[in-house]
């Protein structure tokens, strides 16, 4: 049988570069979700950095839909930088002087991994449309074979955006004992109907192109160039936001002063999309596009668990960092929030942040410093916890000007599960972890607070106590802490109800606006009293300046039992009482309450 050779116009694939290729599934074929098996198979990959002696510093990068293994360095086909130069390299968030970074072309791809354009050993010609339909789980099985081939038993992290995030999620679900951290960026646990619809438009553009030739175009030396270009154009629109398109192009004309009254690219945005389509054809295979988009459409981690996504991660020990972008309408933040809720239902360790940007879905590939800081902090925090680059350094110093924090810490039993609502920079959680061996989690509105917390190895979710306590299931924690925050929430009653739903006990501290000095200042100056660092009332977060007695009324209305009360007077003296005495409302500058339901 004569050896098949690619046609001269085909520049994509393993023939285009001299890279690393692993021959896998040689002795036994790799099973596929469709019931068939494949093997032997090739997985093309690239690496950066050095694997340490313990083989514990490996990070697997999973690429997006039309990406490949060249996430760093120079792409051999385009001669441009790899697709993630802002994230990967010396001194960057994924630091190649510290980590051994691996990125492979997915099964079904067209840059050296076995896919539709690969030669079918049974026929001697490319698989074409006879290639088996694959899934995200199949892609991850092949990646797992590659990692085993490289002699790595456990990955420090799997990191991916978009479809790569789906790969990372599948890793955490299928191989939780082989992954320490999973970083899920601009992704979801399943494709929506809208996303499937956009993919179908792209597929139909390819299938309708006469050059597709029923998928046998390589053997017939044709090419569905127009169809593949249109598919790329349609998909590329979903990667950007309305604001990004308007800012970049508006209604500006392309190299002309007036309309041509024809169907040339009058507008700059039209020219841009045509360029995207034409350049894409030079580096990607049309059949790979069909198979990979179908795999993404089939992805639904909850499908095997009666729609209960949390059950895909039973008792998982994987640490998750989930990042969403506010203007991403392909994978909107709501998708990430659903994932956070599902993971929390299983007690998983989850950090989540929503990055404010108008750049759309592709923001994770663009210049987003806040995104870099979050991912870098998460990896650094986990490395510190693991002692990956040196001995573990305990962190746990409390702010000396916050006496309530020490009182709160002393109320919490060792070895318990704790949620800190309004966790700030994570100081209290660090202290509880170091001194009381608690399993601590946080909810914090400030993105900077989240970043600082995850850099300490903490699990903190970016969210608002007014609406995001729904992230956590009923009775998920032994203690829920709300320190100096109840006055700043919109509806204190609703928030307190949520605290009691989530925790077996709640600890609440607040400034008492019934304190005698506060009353005196209001009487003598006629101005609102301010506590803390703020000097003017319009800087204050206190939208409900209630008193100790007001809080007692609220607790009574919710049938909440007061187990203990600590009050701090103007001189810093702490009084401990089972229930506050009547004069406490006058003498206490601050109060700390330990609360529970009468039934508990």
Positions annotated as catalytic residues are 162, 328, 361
CA–CA distance, 335 with 333 (Å, rounded to integer): 5
φ/ψ (deg, to 5) at 544 = -130, 80
Rg (CA), the chain: 28
* Of 399, 589, 406, 423, nearest in space to 511 by CA: 589
Q: Where are the beta strands (DSSP E) in 257-311?
A: none
Three-state DSSP at 489 gives coil
CA–CA distance, 558 with 40 (Å, rounded to integer): 65
The residues facing 596 across adjacent strands are: 505, 561
φ/ψ (deg, to 5) at 267 = -95, 150
φ/ψ (deg, to 5) at 473 = -80, 165
Write the burial class of residue 28 (CB in 10 Å: 0-12 exposed, 13-18 middle, 19+ buried): exposed
CA–CA distance, 310 with 104 (Å, rounded to integer): 28
Contact between 510 and 589 (Cβ < 8 Å): no
Contact between 427 and 455 (Cβ < 8 Å): no
Residue in this structure with the two tokens 């640490």, named with its chain if needed: 319
Contact between 561 and 595 (Cβ < 8 Å): yes
**Helical residues (DSSP H) of 387-532, grouped into ranges:** 403-411, 427-436, 447-454, 492-502, 516-525
* Of 183, 187, 192, 228, nearest in space to 210 by CA: 228
Cβ neighbours of residue 98 under 8 Å, at least 6 residues apart?
49, 57, 383, 389
Q: Which two tokens stand for residue 363?
A: 């923001």
CA–CA distance, 21 with 552 (Å, rounded to integer): 68
The residues facing 321 across adjacent strands are: 183, 351
CA–CA distance, 584 with 568 (Å, rounded to integer): 9
DSSP state, 513? T
Please list the helix, strand and coil fractions of the chain in percent, rounded to the nearest 5, in that order.
35, 20, 45
Query: What does the buried/exposed string (b/e) look like for 314-328 if buried means 16 or more CB atoms within 10 Å of the residue's CB?
Result: eebebbbbbbbbebb
CA–CA distance, 336 with 313 (Å, rounded to integer): 15
Three-state DSSP at 529 gives coil
Residue in this structure with the two tokens 């409900």, named with its chain if needed: 544
């Amino acid at each position: 049988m004569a050896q098949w050779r690619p046609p001269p116009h085909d520049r994509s694939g393993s023939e285009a570069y001299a890279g690393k290729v692993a021959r896998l599934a040689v002795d036994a074929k790799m099973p596929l979700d469709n019931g068939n098996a494949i093997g032997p198979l090739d997985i093309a990959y690239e690496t950066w950095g050095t694997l340490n002696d313990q083989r514990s510093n490996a990070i697997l990068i999973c690429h997006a839909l039309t990406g490949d293994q060249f996430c760093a360095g120079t792409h051999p086909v385009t001669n441009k930088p790899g697709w993630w130069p802002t994230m990967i390299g010396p001194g960057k968030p994924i630091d190649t002087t510290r980590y051994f970074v691996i990125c492979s072309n997915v099964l079904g791809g067209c840059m050296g991994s076995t896919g539709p354009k690969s030669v079918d050993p049974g026929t001697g010609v490319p698989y074409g449309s006879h290639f088996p339909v694959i899934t995200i789980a199949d892609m991850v099985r092949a990646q797992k074979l590659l990692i085993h081939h490289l002699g790595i038993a456990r990955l420090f992290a799997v990191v991916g955006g978009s479809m790569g995030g789906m790969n990372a999620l599948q890793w955490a679900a299928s191989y939780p004992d082989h992954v320490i951290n999973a970083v899920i960026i601009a992704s979801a646990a399943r494709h929506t109907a809208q996303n499937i619809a956009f993919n179908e438009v792209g597929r139909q553009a390819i299938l309708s192109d006469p050059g597709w030739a029923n998928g046998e175009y390589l053997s017939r030396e044709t090419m569905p160039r127009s169809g593949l270009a249109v598919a790329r154009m349609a998909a590329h629109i979903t990667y950007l936001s309305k604001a990004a398109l308007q800012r970049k192009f508006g209604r500006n004309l392309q190299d002309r002063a007036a309309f041509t009254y024809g169907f040339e690219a009058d507008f700059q945005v039209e020219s841009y999309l045509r360029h995207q389509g034409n350049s894409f054809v030079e580096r990607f295979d049309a059949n790979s596009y069909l198979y990979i988009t179908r795999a993404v459409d089939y992805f639904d981690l909850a499908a095997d668990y009666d729609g209960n996504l949390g059950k895909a991660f039973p008792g998982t020990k994987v640490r998750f960092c989930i990042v969403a972008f506010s203007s991403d309408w392909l994978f909107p933040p709501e998708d990430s929030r659903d994932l956070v809720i599902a993971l929390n239902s299983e007690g998983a360790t989850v950090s989540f942040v929503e990055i404010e940007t108008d750049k759309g879905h592709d923001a994770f590939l663009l210049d987003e410093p806040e995104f870099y800081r979050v991912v870098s902090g998460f990896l650094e925090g986990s490395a510190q916890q693991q002692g990956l680059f040196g001995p573990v350094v305990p962190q746990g110093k409390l702010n000396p000007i916050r006496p309530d924090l020490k009182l709160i810490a002393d109320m919490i039993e060792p070895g318990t599960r704790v949620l800190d609502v309004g966790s700030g920079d994570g100081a209290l959680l660090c202290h509880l972890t170091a001194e009381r061996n608690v399993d601590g989690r946080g909810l914090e509105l400030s993105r900077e607070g989240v970043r600082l917390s995850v850099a300490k190895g903490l699990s903190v979710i970016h969210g608002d106590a007014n609406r995001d306590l729904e992230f956590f299931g009923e009775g998920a924690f032994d203690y829920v802490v709300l320190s100096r925050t109840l006055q700043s929430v919109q509806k204190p009653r609703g928030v307190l109800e949520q605290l009691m739903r989530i925790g077996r006990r709640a600890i609440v501290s607040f400034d008492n606006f019934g304190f005698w000095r506060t009353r005196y200042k209001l009487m003598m100056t006629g101005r609102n009293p301010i506590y803390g660092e703020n000097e003017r009332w319009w800087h204050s977060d206190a939208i409900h300046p209630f008193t100790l007695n007001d809080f007692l009324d609220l607790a009574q209305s919710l049938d909440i039992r007061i187990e203990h009360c600590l009050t701090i007077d103007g001189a810093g003296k702490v009084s401990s009482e089972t229930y506050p005495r009547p004069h406490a409302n006058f003498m206490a500058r601050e109060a700390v309450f330990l609360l529970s339901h009468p039934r508990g």
